[in-house]
Structure 1
């Protein structure tokens, strides 16, 4: 693990905020995990994806309906990731550990690996958010320059134009290459991968083989390779774009801050919770449609501060977080709409693509 630490000797902000949130849950007498609304949403999303998959395999679809169905399937798979997998792998989907583990394996059904993802996301990203050299979510250099400490290359002048293409390819790259790279290198950026048990290895290889069977072999066998290629590419374009855009809007926008790891003993000036607030942004708060599909990830500040609280509670506790930020003179980055967040992201990417002026 990184030698970088936070100034947590007197975490007054987080102590005060946690007390306010705990008081809220005590007053309403509800669990911090998911509820009937989340479970109903999980059923709707999973049944929808299974139905779409069956239609694509067994229905005699023309080209345009096949493209549209494949795009919708990719979007639906991303929504399962946001709503079911994400909460489950954070332990907030259910109060029962076995339920979280089972629903967390929906990531493997999408083609990923929950063991690697939990270390990459839960531990590294949620601890060292927006810290260059540690946080894998911004480690896209030299292809995309996502913060000023990263090295600039001439191709970055056009990155605001080609970044959407890379986002569209990102889920294929993740599933077919990056998981294997991390598995064999036993490293996530500079952080060693935790030791995998025999069961973890078995799940990794079994789920990867099943991915090839269900997303490649069966569709080619039942529909032919041309129809499969349309299905596979369109599905991943929608999946990759949806995942990338939603996650990048949370941290790579004009409003958020970044740090750089020197690789030596280093302490961040602020306590961990203040670092999370400064490096994270919400978007489209109060928009029930976006909140439903994005699994509350438009409330990223609340998620980063309380990852073990289910996203169904984020709109309510956001008022508490905003009040505490105001009381401690901290920023509360919140973009008013999805469009505003997308514009901020790509404007920031374009700015980073300009050649740095050396002093």
Structure 2
């Protein structure tokens, strides 16, 4: 991974005052930046939903109920990752480092994915060098997609905005089967490589086996519906989870409003780190209570990137501070309804498939 240097600009002053104002907000109210009682109730709700839905699935009396509870459980586990594990990975779900670690690993490892691998590339790559190819692990170097101007334009990319939804169906199952596993041998469509400790290699393989055990083998053993239904439910679950995952996160960083900055020859970006976050993130329905409850604050992505030390349960309260200071320091904060963000995502795919050089859209409220 190429490590980059940043420069000072008005984003630096914006970020400095933002941190001061947010710190003052929590100090004046004598409340922690971690999860509060409302967050703990939310945590109990999602964890309980996982257990209840799995129990109902594994004891289903009809095929319709089996599929319904299987898919419902898959969504519940994903929302647990959005709402609990993600904050725990940033040590802000609860005060205890130990319990943050446990909560972080629960949903990632139990989905057959490796929490260590995701945590490393999320905090040390994606958060640090957002949308910078060669430094942000989430910028794919995949021949089927062209996401940045530096990637080669091929004839079939003109259709990528049409076939993208089909390939998006494979996101989750590709993650389970290939993404982490290929990183073991440093062969991946991801733009960076990471070293994985031996204990994490063991855990990665162990939890994949356990995941297959309780998601496929156990239903086949205890339910009378036949092995083919367990396989179909498993694949359908991954399709559904993939669409939700990409639909929530893809529109934030893959958009014709956001930048894909390129570093200079000396490895420096002509902007500050806070400005990078503001130029590479689109927020949608940031004030929505429903979105905050369901998506764990992922819809307020720019705010999260700048303040990862604050639990998402507080986002709606500190958003006015965020907006006020962005306007004061003339830093563009891109927020819009979800429908507009989704259209922007597909416009980006369409334009990237047609043009070798095009300008990003100028955001206007």
Q: TM-score normalized by structure 1?
A: 0.92
- Secondary structure class of the residue paired with 1:132: coil
CA drift of 1:287 comes to 1.5
Question: Partner residue of 1:356?
Answer: 356
CA drift of 1:258 comes to 1.2
The answer (yes or no) to whether the contact 1:133–1:260 under 8 Å persists in 2 is no
CA drift of 1:190 comes to 4.7
CA drift of 1:186 comes to 8.1
Question: Partner residue of 1:77?
Answer: 77
Q: Residue by residue, what CA displacement relative to the aligned partner does 1:117-176 show, whole Å, maximum 9, x if unpaired? A: 011111100011011222222215222222333222222122112111222110000111
Question: Partner residue of 1:256?
Answer: 258
The answer (yes or no) to whether the contact 2:282–2:341 under 8 Å persists in 1 is no
- How far, CA to CA, are the matches of 2:355 and 2:272 in structure 1? 33
Distance 1:67 1:344, change over 3 A: farther
- How far, CA to CA, are the matches of 1:320 and 1:281 in structure 2? 18
Question: Partner residue of 1:300?
Answer: 301
Distance 1:332 1:65, change over 3 A: same
- Secondary structure class of the residue paired with 1:322: helix
Matching of residue 20 in structure 1 with residue 40 in structure 2? no
Question: Partner residue of 1:216?
Answer: 216
What's the C-alpha RMSD, in Å, of the aligned pairs? 2.2
The answer (yes or no) to whether the contact 2:9–2:271 under 8 Å persists in 1 is no
CA drift of 1:356 comes to 2.9
The answer (yes or no) to whether the contact 1:13–1:324 under 8 Å persists in 2 is yes
- How far, CA to CA, are the matches of 1:115 and 1:104 in structure 2? 9
The answer (yes or no) to whether the contact 1:132–1:150 under 8 Å persists in 2 is no
Question: Partner residue of 2:286?
Answer: 285
Distance 1:146 1:187, change over 3 A: closer
Distance 1:152 1:186, change over 3 A: closer
CA drift of 1:354 comes to 1.6
- Secondary structure class of the residue paired with 2:217: helix
CA drift of 1:209 comes to 2.0
Question: Partner residue of 1:275?
Answer: 276
Matching of residue 238 in structure 1 with residue 240 in structure 2? yes
CA drift of 1:305 comes to 0.1
- Secondary structure class of the residue paired with 1:12: helix
- How far, CA to CA, are the matches of 1:182 and 1:161 in structure 2? 29
What pairs with 1:42-191 in structure 2 (closer than 5 Å)? 42-62=43-63, 64-106=64-106, 107-185=108-186, 189-191=190-192
- How far, CA to CA, are the matches of 1:277 and 1:9 in structure 2? 13
- How far, CA to CA, are the matches of 1:222 and 1:261 in structure 2? 56
- How far, CA to CA, are the matches of 2:86 and 2:211 in structure 1? 19
CA drift of 1:39 comes to 1.7
CA drift of 1:216 comes to 2.3
CA drift of 1:101 comes to 0.4
- How far, CA to CA, are the matches of 1:39 and 1:299 in structure 2? 20
CA drift of 1:195 comes to 5.0
- How far, CA to CA, are the matches of 2:5 and 2:272 in structure 1? 9
CA drift of 1:245 comes to 1.3
Contiguous gaps of at least 5 residues in structure 1: none
The answer (yes or no) to whether the contact 1:215–1:232 under 8 Å persists in 2 is yes
Distance 1:215 1:265, change over 3 A: farther
Size of the aligned set, in residue pairs, is 354
The answer (yes or no) to whether the contact 2:282–2:334 under 8 Å persists in 1 is yes
The answer (yes or no) to whether the contact 2:141–2:189 under 8 Å persists in 1 is no
- How far, CA to CA, are the matches of 2:188 and 2:94 in structure 1? 30
Q: Residue by residue, what CA displacement relative to the aligned partner does 1:25-75 show, whole Å, maximum 9, x if unpaired? A: 11111100111222211221122122222222221223x444443332222
Distance 1:195 1:169, change over 3 A: closer
Q: TM-score normalized by structure 2?
A: 0.90
